[in-house]
Chain A
């Protein structure tokens, strides 16, 4: 891997060197490094681009890194990664995509990640997106996440897209069985003329299932964001979604929540708040000696931390 690719890798996966545990690193459309463990296998798909990650039942405290980096301008790819997590596991999965585009052609990574999570398993899934390079070609990422949560399983999903991605359409859908729990935290910042659309569809099918979708976003310059969330309560369940957005400059944010209770004991809540940075927050930090610009940066960084 070259320096640009190494830098992307550090940005999206925090990796300076090869990680411990299982990993698969994909660079410019090819798998360049791979490691498996006694409990986690990674197999290349034969019918399409992508890999199967198979985690044996009972696997605890192990991690899988599957970062993707693109530094070749004009490269477009569509990748399917399927995760089969057995029963009674406790694992961390770190994905992420970095695109460096210094050319004039668009670079695009579309990925579909499907999770099949077994009973009583806990999965922490972290996904970071990052773009760099000063070419006219756009950096485009369209991640799709499909989650099937088994009985009493728990998935924590953290997604972060802070810099450099010109256009993104992120879609996440989940189905939850009895007692399953899903927590999603999304951090998003757009600038320039970027557009970002993020949509969630959660089916709370199981008795006692619960979902909490928390999105925090900042839109600056002329960027445009759309947040869509649909939660269907199909059983005794609890669902909560929250969209908190800060707009700056000429940016626009729309939040379109939808909650549907199809069961008498479904408890569903949606909260959304969009607005500019509160003036008294800036004033407070200025009374501590920060300039207006420093105060603004502090508030935005804190909000997205």
Chain B
């Protein structure tokens, strides 16, 4: 279980002084749930994801993971506690091969056929990719799929995906939906997915609408999604922001 208690995050803005990105936010995520976080651009979604992973440190408030206070833990410690994070814009490395990255993600005991399985799950032919560098020679979509494969390989109790659909073509997108469904159905792990895509929201158990750094709405997909689909103009969640 992940609990966010009175979480706030401010950045200093030269012209306007401090700017609050996340405001006194309280959220609890139960185990084995698939939660989609959506909301307008600039609403604080990506920041929230980074606060969970420890990439950003909150100005105030607490984060508890399975009862342990992880607020002051480093990224590494949180990773070891069982949290994974898929970047919106995956990082490129000169000299680190796809095989190396997946192996690091899975833990060094992993065998090559498993590495290939993870890549197949995201629609990449392993033979063509394992020995390629995770560098500028890969397209944005390929890189994104490798990023997702690295999260599948980690297989942790909680995985946070920051806009996994960004930069993915239509064919891959269909597969991506399947990947998330499988991850959810075949394990006890929890997923938090930041997304604007209706089709991703459509497979989540719950939807959280984040705007202006606070929770505008939260509930079961069946209750929240129809309201969101009325369009942003008519959407009361967006208006309240």
Contact = CB atoms under 8 A, between A and B. Distances in A.
> For the side of the interface on A, what is the size category?
20 to 34
B91 interface: yes
Contacts of B79: 286-289
B76 A302 contact: no
Given A284-B91, A302-B100, A289 B53 contact: no
A280 B91 CA distance: 7
B80 A289 contact: yes
Contacts of A289: 76, 79-80, 107
A286 to B, nearest CB: 4
A289 B154 CA distance: 10
A244 B91 contact: no
Contacts of B76: 286, 289-292
A112 interface: no
Interface string A132-156: 0000000000000000000000000
B94 A283 contact: no
A281 interface: yes
Contacts of A286: 74-76, 79
For A280, A285, A291, A301, the residue with the greatest tally of chain B CB atoms inside 10 Å of its CB is A285
A284 B87 contact: yes
Interface string B94-112: 1111001000110100000
A290 B76 CA distance: 6
A281 B91 contact: yes
A281 B96 CA distance: 11
Contacts of B161: none
Nearest to B160: A287
For B85, B96, B105, the residue with the greatest tally of chain A CB atoms inside 10 Å of its CB is B96
B95 A304 contact: yes
A216 B93 CA distance: 13
Interface in B64-86: 74-76, 79-80, 84-85
Nearest to A280: B91
Contacts of B80: 289
Interface string A273-285: 0000010110111
Chain B interface mostly helix, strand, loop or mixed?
Answer: mixed
A285 B76 CA distance: 9
B11 interface: no
Given A287-B84, A288-B105, A289-B80, A305 B95 contact: yes
A198 to B, nearest CB: 19
Nearest to B80: A289
Contacts of B138: none
Contact of B154 (A284, A288, A290, A304): A288
Interface string A235-264: 000000000100000000000000000000
A164 to B, nearest CB: 22
Given A287-B79, A287-B84, A290-B104, A303 B94 contact: yes
B55 interface: yes
Contacts of A283: 55, 75, 91
A75 B74 CA distance: 50
B6 to A, nearest CB: 25
Interface in B86-138: 87, 90-91, 93-97, 100, 104-105, 107
A298 interface: yes
Contact of A288 (B55, B94, B150): B150
Contacts of A290: 76, 104
Contacts of A303: 94-95
A269 interface: no
B95 A281 contact: no
Nearest to A286: B75
Contacts of A298: 96, 104
A142 B181 CA distance: 60
Nearest to B84: A287
Contacts of A305: 95
A244 B84 contact: no
B96 A287 contact: no
Interface of B: 53, 55, 74-76, 79-80, 84-85, 87, 90-91, 93-97, 100, 104-105, 107, 150, 154
Nearest first, the 9 A-B pairs at minimum CB distance are: A302-B95, A286-B75, A302-B96, A289-B79, A284-B91, A303-B95, A287-B85, A286-B76, A280-B91
Interface of A: 216, 244, 278, 280-281, 283-292, 298-299, 301-305
14 contacts: A283-B75, A284-B87, A285-B104, A286-B75, A287-B75, A288-B105, A288-B154, A289-B79, A289-B80, A292-B74, A299-B93, A302-B100, A303-B95, A304-B95
